[in-house]
A = this chain, B = another copy of it.
């Protein structure tokens, strides 16, 4: 289904009813402008899946209409899917200087840099396509160089906030451009898409300057090494560490691949100020007195292979955490990561380190990059949209964001809580929810894209809990008789050497199954296999309470 000529259509391909894989699109006439293209990490039910990207079948089918991918900022849930999209549609990418730096890292890795058109924009840019033109406004979040986006169309203006908070005293020199936002609101906003991550949290996001004070204090107090862990992309947090290190006369080492890469991009492009002579390599740490060293590293989420986890278990080459060192978690755990984080905290205490950690902003070492309720209300108030689509959140966040919108004057009935793929059409300034476009999860499983079938995931689930039992039956082609005793191979079910009795009984069950088959006179291979699976499965369930995957293999001789 295609929209009518002068209908303006808005939909999400990712980010609705979920945190992650943000991707939104605006379609008008013969043009589609795509905003962001992120990834999401699978939950524990998607065994073996590496990452999830949005299903872009609709964009592929309308390839010639897709004029631009406009990117709000450089976080993975907004840029991580770009290489996969580019393999299907070679679309020009518009983003700020820093965001482009991170996208380039990614494209280089995927060998897509040369053939991709990258267009640098800033808050003053205006990009005009045939039907839609795009302008921007400056925002702050937890990564440099973020933009909100305005799409100007004959039907009216659409605003997409990207990720944002308001902070009048942020860590960097960047500021939210309140004046420009006020102007946009005054010009008139037909529809606002605004992020909902913290729509459940009361009040205003705390200011970054609180973190700076706490970091400084911890550095002053520390009598030995200071190790601070944060997201590599949180450049203003890294700058706070640099400043604290300077004040306490410490050299700084960067540990973790993404920390090294992202800091290089930020320094190169002028977003981070580190004197050359302050930086040292990991192997130089031991040459300095511990009170002269600071480390900033990855792993604040407890990721097993990241620097901090390896440091906590003594598995980082050339660097050791010792008693009386200070370790700071300068990022709150993302829901689901708490246990991995506390496991590291335990290890660090056992090493004798001082550990500063805590959920949310309780330690003073972290504030969220996403606006709380008052931030969201301020955005809604500035923009005064006629229609509203809360985006970037799970259902309850979208729900609470709707309530906030109604509190500040968005008319009841003018908010649309959408699922990915559900379209809002606007015609003559009237919006209504209409058609659906294909949308869903595309799994990246190894090199394969989108090719993990449900049945494969179901098999992995069964294999993960109960393992498998391969049963090899050598049979005569004509009489359909067992020629030799069956062979059983167990993997992930029981350890064969300790389960001889059980496996012997499996063979008895197989013999029993054959007796039953003889009586029934049914002799197709598929019937034989089915009956053996059922008989052995039933026996194992009642005797072990496990349901291993049973794979009968028949060899005809």
Contacts and interface: CB of A to CB of B under 8 A. Distances in A.
A291 interface: no
A551 B489 contact: yes
A466 B48 contact: yes
B491 A446 contact: no
A17 interface: yes
A492 interface: yes
Contact of A460 (B335, B339, B467): B467
A338 to B, nearest CB: 5
Interface in A479-497: 487, 489, 491-495
Q: When A and B form their complex, which 3 residue pairs have the shortest distance between CB atoms, in order from nearest?
A: A464-B464, A446-B545, A463-B463
Quickly give the copy total for this chain. Answer: 2
A448 to B, nearest CB: 6
B339 A48 contact: no
Given A47-B464, A459-B491, A460-B465, 18 more contacts: A17-B346, A48-B464, A335-B338, A335-B342, A336-B339, A346-B395, A349-B395, A355-B396, A446-B544, A451-B498, A451-B499, A456-B492, A456-B495, A460-B492, A463-B491, A470-B470, A472-B555, A553-B553
Nearest to A335: B338
Given A48-B546, A465-B47, A349 B551 contact: no
Interface size classification for chain A: 35 or more
Interface in A429-480: 445-448, 451, 453, 455-457, 459-468, 470, 472, 474
A229 to B, nearest CB: 16
16 contacts: A47-B464, A48-B466, A48-B467, A345-B396, A346-B394, A347-B395, A349-B395, A446-B546, A453-B498, A459-B467, A459-B492, A460-B467, A462-B492, A463-B464, A472-B553, A557-B557
A465 B445 CA distance: 9
Contacts of A545: 446-447
Contacts of A5: none
A445 B396 contact: no
A47 B44 CA distance: 11
A276 interface: no
A522 B17 CA distance: 58
Contact of A470 (B498, B553, B557): B553
A543 interface: yes
A399 interface: yes
Given A48-B467, A459-B492, A349 B396 contact: yes
A350 interface: yes
A412 to B, nearest CB: 15
A211 interface: no
A210 to B, nearest CB: 18
Contacts of A394: 342, 346
Interface in A33-92: 43-44, 47-48
A329 to B, nearest CB: 12
Nearest to A50: B545
A305 to B, nearest CB: 15
A456 B467 contact: yes
Contact of A465 (B48, B338, B346): B48
Contacts of A553: 470, 472, 487, 489, 553
A551 B489 CA distance: 9
Contact of A338 (B48, B338, B345, B489): B338
A498 B456 CA distance: 11
A465 B545 CA distance: 23
Contacts of A489: 551, 553
A380 interface: no
A443 to B, nearest CB: 12
Contacts of A549: 491
B467 A492 contact: no
Contacts of A447: 543-545
Nearest to A464: B464
A48 B549 CA distance: 13
Contacts of A546: 48, 445-446
Contacts of A472: 472, 553, 555
A48 B487 CA distance: 25
Interface string A376-397: 0000000000000000001110
Contact of A493 (B456, B464, B474): B456
Contacts of A44: 44
